[in-house]
Structure 1
Amino acid sequence: MRYLKGYSLLLMASLAACSKSSDTTTLVGNWMKRSQYEGVARSSAASFVIDNKAYVGTGYDGTERLQDFWVYDVDLNQWTQITSFPGVARNGAVGMAMAGKGYVGTGYDGLNKLNDFYEYDPVAKTWTKKANFKGTARYGAVAFALNDKGFITTGYDGNWLKDNWKFDPTAPDATAWTQVESMNSGKRTDASAFVIGNKAYVCMGTANAANVTDFYSFDGTTWTTLNPIANVNDDSFDDDYNFAGSSAAAFSMKGKGYIVSGIKGGYSAAVWEYTPGTDRWVQKTDFEGAARSGAVGFSLKDRGFVGLGASSSLSLDDLWEFDPNAEYNKND
């Protein structure tokens, strides 16, 4: 099912979705501008969420790698600076949170691929160096947490990667990292990941100068191959969407996953919604900010947000909230 740009009531979109003919189908969803990030504009930042607050920092402003970190309070719609990241300034790092603490590591400092790893305590407001990531030093990986264990997978160390490493924050440094089952296929860098329930979902990215199309879920032990994110011409999978690309923002809310913007041939503003129960994607209203790569995505109180990133040589500092079921409103 292909969904093309336009605006109408949710009922009309639902009726149109019943037809394979897509020329008259309209999209649903509304973007609302929120408080701008108070640090300098940047792309390829790291982020994590603790207690319904989003922590965003590091990244690249087009000239320099960065170390500053900021926290976004959704109730106040306000950013506040916190203690800067203690490692070397970098972009392309990963971030994740588990058991009330945030974690940032790996990345690129402009000369070196990195494997150091740090923990942030929001109560003490301090960073602590943890055991180095045991995989190869890399950037462009993805990270996620399942059942208070962290995982880092994919990325680029001079080669495209698909290995997968588990981090146990309660274990001694010597045994904190364990290599676990690699992704079924699908080496890649600059992928996107989101978590729904007790599973992580990984898609998008590039390898061998091409966009990858395979898509997987991971339950903390085993990877499962899902339907691809590109055209498939067989009876078992007749949807004809194709949104393979890289450096897209991702988040989940209300039991569904979202992929926003990124590079898909050129810069794309497209937004795609994933439903685990059907293993299908539906296109939603385009992202209302400038199409971009290297943005961050996160959810707070079951509300989805996308911000920062770069459009060509321009670094960005805007923040947007998405309501996937609302009618488009250009005035908000």
Structure 2
Amino acid sequence: MLKNYSFLVIPALFLIVLTSCKKEGDPPVSAEEKNVWVTKPSFPGTGRKEAVSFVIGDKLYLGSGFGMENNAQQFLRDFWQYNASTTSWVRIADFPGGVVGQAISFSMNGKGYLGLGYRLDCPPAGGICDHVYYRDLWAYTPQTNSWEKVVTFDIGEFDSSLGGTAFVIGNKAYIQNRNNLWEFDPFTNTLTPKKNLPDILHYAVSFAIGDKGYIGTGFNGSSHKELYEYNPTTDQWTQKASLGGGARYGAVGFALNGLGYIGGGIEGEYTNQGTYKDFWQYNPSADSWKKVEDYSGEGKFEAIADVVNGKAYVGTGDNRSSSKVTFENDFWEYVLK
């Protein structure tokens, strides 16, 4: 099922008619709750979706993904550093592990990590493309501007390694793919299988608040809005309140000041998709959701989101709000008031 689905959602191969997804039933945002989206210098690389990001210090790193380059849609390997203090971009070493989309990423102990994902191998004369799935995890060291392969996932057979997510708690990272979960130890570069997620989810989002991890939304034959909480101490999952907005996949998520945020993404089946730009705030103490400010850019599918120095950043992605796919390179900061 996954191989068929992942082929269907590659926009390079299809023209899809899409609609806006701003819901009339969404609750209003009161004046005292309003924060601000502020536009920042655009990502200087080619516009793309399926990119990854991680944060080291006051720098955000963004790269890989799928976009338009040299008049052709293709996978990319360039990487860039965003300095939140100077609001400037600098190109860094390209990712050496091969062109990759829908990888997972996170940062720990002064290093950034990128792993899993896929690429397409297509016949020169046209026809059905083959998926090539990656099983490696790489680390980026900013002091040397270099990448190093640190471990290969060698647990069972991968039916797919695309569309996963990851979060960090303490000195361990937790990597999700389908319903599988692994704990990564950066000191020993080892992977340990943990309790499976209660559902098989592709294109979900994740964030960590305190000593708990959260994974929500996603796709498994249809769009989802469930949220699951992971406790690494007990190695148990607990289902929490579902997202207040519509079901979706390919959204973005982040945690800020003890609260979780999910926004963007698309809804619907393959032939009836639409793009969201709404954002929702999750309070883990109350296990409740509250609508916050809509994203100020275009609605986004498979964008990136990360937090630097208490401010969230959202950018790139696939704008599916019209009758064509547009790969974006805009970049926005979410400022709490």
TM-score tier, shorter chain, comes to 0.7 to 0.9
Residue 67 of structure 1 and its aligned partner are, at CA, apart by 0.6
Aligned partner of 1:107 among 97, 102, 117: 117
Query: How many angstroms apart in 1 are the aligned matches of 2:223 and 2:236?
Result: 20
Matched, 1:34 2:40: yes
Residue 123 of structure 1 and its aligned partner are, at CA, apart by 1.2
SS in 2 for 1:257: strand
1:140 is aligned with what amino acid?
Answer: G
Matched, 1:120 2:140: yes
Matched, 1:243 2:246: yes
Q: CA-to-partner distance for each residue in 1:148-182, whole Å, 9 max, x for gaps? A: 2122113xxxxxx21101111211x5xx1111111
Q: Is the 8 A contact 1:213 1:228 kept in 2?
A: no
What aligned pairs does 1:14-25 form with structure 2 within 5 A after superposition? none
Specify the alignment match of 1:89 in structure 2: 99
Query: How many angstroms apart in 1 are the aligned matches of 2:303 and 2:106?
Result: 15
Aligned partner of 1:49 among 51, 55, 72: 55
Residue 300 of structure 1 and its aligned partner are, at CA, apart by 0.6
Q: Is the 8 A contact 1:201 1:217 kept in 2?
A: yes
Query: How many angstroms apart in 2 are the aligned matches of 1:245 and 1:324?
Result: 25
Matched, 1:170 2:184: no
Identical positions, percent:
29
Residue 3 of structure 1 and its aligned partner are, at CA, apart by 4.9
Structural RMSD (CA): 1.7
Aligned partner of 1:194 among 198, 203, 207: 207
Specify the alignment match of 2:6 in structure 1: none
- Label 1:134 to 1:52 Cα distance change in 2 as closer, same or farther (>3 A): farther
Residue 244 of structure 1 and its aligned partner are, at CA, apart by 1.8
Q: Is the 8 A contact 1:197 1:255 kept in 2?
A: yes
Query: How many angstroms apart in 1 are the aligned matches of 2:237 and 2:151?
Result: 29
Q: CA-to-partner distance for each residue in 1:112-134, whole Å, 9 max, x for gaps? A: 11111111111121111111123
Matched, 1:294 2:302: yes
Q: Is the 8 A contact 2:104 2:164 kept in 1?
A: yes
Specify the alignment match of 1:152 in structure 2: 175
Matched, 1:70 2:90: no
- Label 1:321 to 1:258 Cα distance change in 2 as closer, same or farther (>3 A): same
Higher strand share: 2
Residue 324 of structure 1 and its aligned partner are, at CA, apart by 4.3
Aligned partner of 1:307 among 315, 323, 331: 315
SS in 2 for 1:287: coil
SS in 2 for 1:317: coil
Specify the alignment match of 1:218 in structure 2: 230
- Structure 2 stretches lacking a partner, 5+ long: 1-24, 121-130, 269-273
2:117 is aligned with what amino acid?
Answer: G
Q: Is the 8 A contact 2:254 2:262 kept in 1?
A: yes
Q: Is the 8 A contact 1:50 1:102 kept in 2?
A: yes
Q: Is the 8 A contact 1:309 1:315 kept in 2?
A: yes
Name the TM-score, length of structure 2 as normaliser: 0.81
Q: Is the 8 A contact 2:241 2:287 kept in 1?
A: no
Q: CA-to-partner distance for each residue in 1:74-106, whole Å, 9 max, x for gaps? A: 110111111110111011001111111111011
Q: Is the 8 A contact 1:226 1:279 kept in 2?
A: no
Specify the alignment match of 1:182 in structure 2: 196
Specify the alignment match of 1:16 in structure 2: none
Q: Is the 8 A contact 1:186 1:214 kept in 2?
A: no
Specify the alignment match of 2:151 in structure 1: 131
2:193 is aligned with what amino acid?
Answer: Q
Specify the alignment match of 1:79 in structure 2: 89
